[in-house]
């Protein structure tokens, strides 16, 4: 069994807007995280797709980016909604998993892009290639909180 933890949650009200840390957020199937740009259809890639509902990244990836490339990437700066610890997100592609009280399905990797580099002013593509996070679909409604356990079979 896979087990990890939510270490931070970030949302942004609009495309390219600042990411705000929150202690908890409501996950809504078919929409995304309440008050986040994609739930409001105000994201850069605003056409609603299930893969825009929820994005996750491993805290360990940010640590490796600092260690291996000398690039500091703070939580939220990655533009991903949830930062995790202790779970290999790449292994959740095509699988259902739980985050606290909600269920989600990993759809595809969240690869870094030139848009992310533009917003951060940092050269991230090489260091985040195949480790840039996970795009997931929200399957059940509920609240996600910092400290919630992430589990998958």
CATH code: domain of residue 74: 2.40.33.20
What is the value of pTM for the model shown? Answer: 0.88
Confidence of residue 113 (pLDDT cuts 50, 70, 90): low
Is the distance from CB of 56 to CB of 86 less than 8 angstroms? no
- Within its chain, how far is the Cα of 34 from the centroid? 14
Tell me the percentage of the chain whose pLDDT exceeds 90: 56
Q: Exposed, middle or buried, 59 (CB in 10 Å: 0-12/13-18/19+)?
A: middle
Query: Vertex 42, ends 40 and 48: CA angle to 5°?
Result: 70
Q: CB-based contacts of 147: which residues, under 8 Å, 6+ apart?
A: 5, 6
Token duo for residue 73: 């990437």
Contact 149, 7 (CB under 8 A): no
Domain of residue 73 covers 2-152
Half-sphere exposure of 147 (CA within 13 A, CB side): 2
Q: Name the domain count of the chain.
A: 1
- Separation CA 8–CA 58 (nearest Å): 10
* pLDDT score recorded for residue 47: 62
Task: Output the pLDDT for position 50.
Answer: 79
pLDDT digits (tens, 9 = 90+) for 70-98: 888 888 888 889 999 999 999 999 999 99
What CA–CA distance (Å, rounded) separates 31 from 121? 29
Interval 16-29: pLDDT, tens: 778 899 999 999 99
Dist. CA 36–CA 25, nearest whole Å: 9
| Local structure of 64: helix, strand or coil | helix
């Amino acid at each position: 069994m896979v087990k990890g933890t939510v270490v931070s949650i970030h949302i942004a009200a609009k495309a390219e807007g600042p990411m705000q840390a929150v202690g908890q957020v409501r996950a809504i199937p078919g929409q995304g995280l309440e008050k986040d740009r994609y739930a409001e259809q105000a994201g850069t890639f605003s056409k609603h797709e299930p893969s825009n509902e929820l994005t996750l990244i491993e805290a360990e990836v940010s640590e490796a980016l600092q260690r291996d490339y000398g690039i500091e990437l703070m939580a939220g700066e990655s533009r991903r909604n949830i930062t995790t610890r202790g779970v290999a997100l790449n292994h959740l592609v095509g699988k259902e998993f739980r985050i606290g009280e909600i269920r989600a399905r990993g759809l595809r990797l969240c690869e870094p892009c030139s848009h992310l580099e533009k917003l951060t002013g940092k050269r991230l593509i090489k260091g985040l290639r195949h480790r840039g996070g996970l795009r997931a679909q929200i399957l059940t409604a509920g609240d996600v909180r910092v400290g919630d356990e992430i589990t998958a079979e």
